[in-house]
Copies of this chain bind each other. A is one copy, B any other.
Amino acid sequence: MAVSARRGTPLTLQEILGTALRLIDAGGVESLSMRKLAAELDVNPMSLYHHVANKTELIRTVCLNVAPTLQPPADDGAPWPDQLRALAHAYRRLARTHPGLWRYVHNHPEVIEPRQGGLWEVLDRILRAAQVPEDERERTADVLHAFVSGFVLAENLGHIAEEESEPAFDTAINLITAGLRAHR
């Protein structure tokens, strides 16, 4: 059995992932160390390696657990600009809930490869509704994703003042929809 001397309960993967996410939310991925995580769990650092191959895989697992939290809004029949705004809003919300983790994923996109979550399907549907020609749709989706995540990252890093946040988000979405409309 060999339960930890310092704890009554055996260590579980869920416990590890939960605590890791908490530490990441608190101080960003940079602040997460295997040794600190183990201390937080009141366990020997090396015990973690019985549940997880290494640090990279641990972070990746945390990411893959959080990713499905993004629930891209379903097609409610609203005009496409409204749906685009709603999608961007959902994306931004997730980023704000886990800023450190989101920043990590954004800088290590390979972690979540291939493009996960209904996000890309929904985006494609919206671009179709916006009558973006088929041969430009994927490219346009890439560009829009880069634009919105660029904005979200700017916010995340405090590059955009708190009280400017909402009006700037409006400006961003309006610019995109106006651009798409003109492109039609």
Contact = CB atoms under 8 A, between A and B. Distances in A.
A108 to B, nearest CB: 8
Q: Is the interface of A mostly helix, strand, loop or mixed?
A: helix
Residue among A107, A149, A159, A176 with max Cβ neighbours from chain B (10 Å): A159
A81 to B, nearest CB: 12
B154 A142 contact: yes
Interface in A131-150: 136, 139-140, 142-143, 145-150
A157 interface: yes
A145 to B, nearest CB: 7
Nearest to A148: B150
A38 interface: no
Interface string A82-122: 00000000000000000000010011010000000000000
Interface of A: 103, 106-107, 109, 136, 139-140, 142-143, 145-151, 153-154, 157-160, 164, 167-168, 171-172, 174-183
13 contacts: A107-B107, A109-B159, A142-B164, A143-B151, A143-B168, A143-B172, A146-B150, A146-B153, A147-B175, A175-B176, A175-B183, A177-B179, A178-B182
